[in-house]
Chains A and B, each alone.
Chain A
Amino acid sequence: MNAASNEATCKGAAIDIDGISKFYGGFTALENVSLRVEPGEFMSFLGPSGSGKTTTLNLIAGFTDLSGGDIRLDARSIGHVPAHKRNIGVVFQHYALFPHMSVAQNVAYPLKQRRVGKAERARAVEEALRKVQLDSFAHRYPSELSGGQQQRVALARAMVFGPSLLLMDEPLGALDKKLREVLQLEIKRIHRELGSTFVYVTHDQEEALVLSDRIAVFNRGRIEQVGTGQTLYTAPQTLFVGQFIGESSVLRGPHRSAGGETMLTVAGTALTAPGAANGEGAQVILLRPEAVMVQAPGTGPQEGRCNILSGVVREMLYLGSAMKYEVTLADGSHVTARTPTQGAPFALGATVELAWRPQESVLLADDGSTAGH
């Protein structure tokens, strides 16, 4: 029971989520989700609200009961172990500090439950508070701390007993942007120092990209895709993932596949995308703003093969290092382009040509997702 003493050396646990489901009456919150989180990995669960990411976290923590499937922590089934026996640290969005206990008493709480001796307890509390840079606040009460400080205390409390897995449920959701960035760096540092496995729930894709080794994108009670931030950005497997991560434009039109390529006709122009169509249904081309060049009409392809579309500038934003254009096509759809600032910018209402290399087009099945998170 010397949970605190192995804190510095503890290794992260592997999580095996094996076909778990959660139903509330007739409502399906989570259906047949499987996922493996590697030991010591920083995994983010990303998705809109109601996508099942928090449900999955609560199932791992044991706050809700599984409707089906199992969860294993280092090959040990924990699916039906009560929450207080799972030895998993949890950080909540709402801090959940005990208001009637001082900072030190809050952090000592999990150690008391584990019957850690008094001297050892004091040492571990001090060390945990030092890790979150709050060692001088030990005797304050939660109500005397700012939101950021309270969340640091919660973090110290969740890691003081050396759990091999730490769950965080939108821990920075209640904080302002500036503080959020500071704490993101701190969470990353603590993850490195502890070596524990971290599972981090967020709806903020930027936060997920900054923090995670890998990201699991949730949508409607399922996992759409699991991968590194780069994989999700450059090679999304579904339109939902493509639109949820980063900025993008979506072009829709009839398609025809041949010779390992697919032609999509948008506003009367045939566009080339690599790969065969995904399934029987409608196809879309997903474009990242930085892949699209904006040029004067009639410029044509500059190097090799190019997809070229003509449109009218509807919006232009000067971003310092870049210009962002919102271009409307003849069929009414919009394309966003971000180009380096050079030369005179195109005016509002100007007719321009959009050009990009075919391999920059990401061909995806149209799952009906629309932009806007």
Chain B
Amino acid sequence: MTGFRPGRLLLQLSCLLIAIWLVAPTLVVIPMSFADRKSLAFPPQGFSTQWYANFFSNPQWFGSLVVSLKIAAMVAVVATVIGTMAAIGIERLKTRAGGIIRVVLLTPMIVPGVVLAVGIYAVYLDTRLVGTWTGYVLAHTLLAIPFVVIAVGANLAVFDERLETAAASLGASRLTTFFTVTLPLILPGILSGALFAFVTSFDEVIVSLFITSPQLKTLPVQIFSSMTRDADPTVAAVGSLIFLATTLIIGLGLIIGLRRRGA
């Protein structure tokens, strides 16, 4: 591994550049969040933590975070239950109908968000669901189900169905078999599906912009409207906080995963 190799150096350099290109936009918000003037100029001037304080004390900001977390949690539960049941059904159908149903369930991932948003908005106007909890949860669940179907489906593909036959021979009913054998073994898929569903909802902005109301606003909508109104560095503070939180969660997940594999 010694000696000068120009090809290798070039490769390392280009990797580094790509990495910077990928991470830089995320990192830029961190210095901006500590700016002491109400401006989103880069590089920022001075230093203050007032935007963090503003985020936690201003009900507009903090309230929208709570709304987003509540909706995301509900979406995670509903989408995971529906998506898991759908994935199992598709897996067990084993006919062409299963493939068709799968494609139908995955369409929200393929259809452009704006098109979906217009459709949802039109339906919501008639059914008075605009700006309601139910409205948000329904719309976000629709968008999250494909992720659950994919995650659970991947797990089911490697699940050995013969274990269910064995459980039956040992005296377990279909329902007992599901809860004692199938569920524990596809749990990793269900959990990652739930995580995807949570993030999909928490992160969703297009549909939410259409169905939002001044009384019930999610965090991405609040960020968006704040950006269009004025240059409030609170946006950068929110971005930094979310970045910190996701880094912690993913890091923790990696550590747990590595430790379990090592055991």
Partner-B contacts on A (CB < 8 A): 61-63, 82-90, 92, 94, 96-100, 109-110, 113-114, 157-158, 161
Q: B160, B163, B172, B185: which contacts A84 (Cβ < 8 A)?
A: B172
Q: B163, B177, B180: which contacts A96 (Cβ < 8 A)?
A: B163
Q: B162, B166, B171: which contacts A161 (Cβ < 8 A)?
A: B171
Contacts of A92 in B (CB 8 A): 162, 165-166
A83-B165, A90-B166 are known; give 18 further A-B pairs, CB within 8 A. A61-B169, A63-B168, A84-B174, A84-B177, A87-B171, A88-B169, A90-B169, A94-B160, A96-B163, A97-B166, A98-B163, A98-B167, A100-B184, A109-B172, A109-B180, A114-B171, A161-B170, A161-B171
> Is the CB of B58 closer than 8 A to any CB of chain A?
no
Q: A87, A94, A113: which contacts B172 (Cβ < 8 A)?
A: A113
Which residue of chain A has its CB nearest to the CB of B172? A113
Contacts of B177 in A (CB 8 A): 84
Given known A-B contacts A98-B181, A99-B185, A100-B185, A84 and B162 have beta carbons under 8 A apart = no
Some 18 contacts from A to B, beta carbons below 8 A apart, are A62-B168, A63-B165, A82-B168, A83-B169, A84-B167, A88-B169, A89-B169, A90-B169, A92-B165, A92-B166, A96-B160, A96-B163, A97-B166, A98-B167, A99-B185, A113-B172, A157-B170, A161-B170
CA distance A129 to B2 in the complex (A): 57
> Is the CB of B48 closer than 8 A to any CB of chain A?
no
> Is the CB of B173 closer than 8 A to any CB of chain A?
yes
Interface of B is mostly: helix
> Is the CB of B134 closer than 8 A to any CB of chain A?
no
Given known A-B contacts A84-B172, A84-B173, A94-B162, A109 and B167 have beta carbons under 8 A apart = yes
Interchain nearest-CB distance for A104 vs B (Å): 14
Contacts of B171 in A (CB 8 A): 84-85, 87, 110, 113-114, 161
Interchain nearest-CB distance for A112 vs B (Å): 8
Interface residues of B in 125-172 (CB under 8 A from A): 160, 162-163, 165-172
Contacts of A158 in B (CB 8 A): 169-170
CA distance A190 to B165 in the complex (A): 24
CA distance A85 to B168 in the complex (A): 8
Interface magnitude class on chain B? 10 to 19
CA distance A96 to B159 in the complex (A): 12
Given known A-B contacts A96-B162, A96-B165, A113 and B185 have beta carbons under 8 A apart = no
Interchain nearest-CB distance for A58 vs B (Å): 9
CA distance A161 to B170 in the complex (A): 8
Contacts of A82 in B (CB 8 A): 168, 173
Contacts of B184 in A (CB 8 A): 100
Contacts of B176 in A (CB 8 A): 113
CA distance A161 to B167 in the complex (A): 13
Interchain nearest-CB distance for A98 vs B (Å): 6
Interchain nearest-CB distance for A2 vs B (Å): 14
Interchain nearest-CB distance for B44 vs A (Å): 51
Interface residues of B in 12-70 (CB under 8 A from A): none
Contacts of B172 in A (CB 8 A): 84, 109, 113
Contacts of A62 in B (CB 8 A): 168
Which residue of chain A has its CB nearest to the CB of B181? A98
Interchain nearest-CB distance for B155 vs A (Å): 13
Interchain nearest-CB distance for B225 vs A (Å): 48
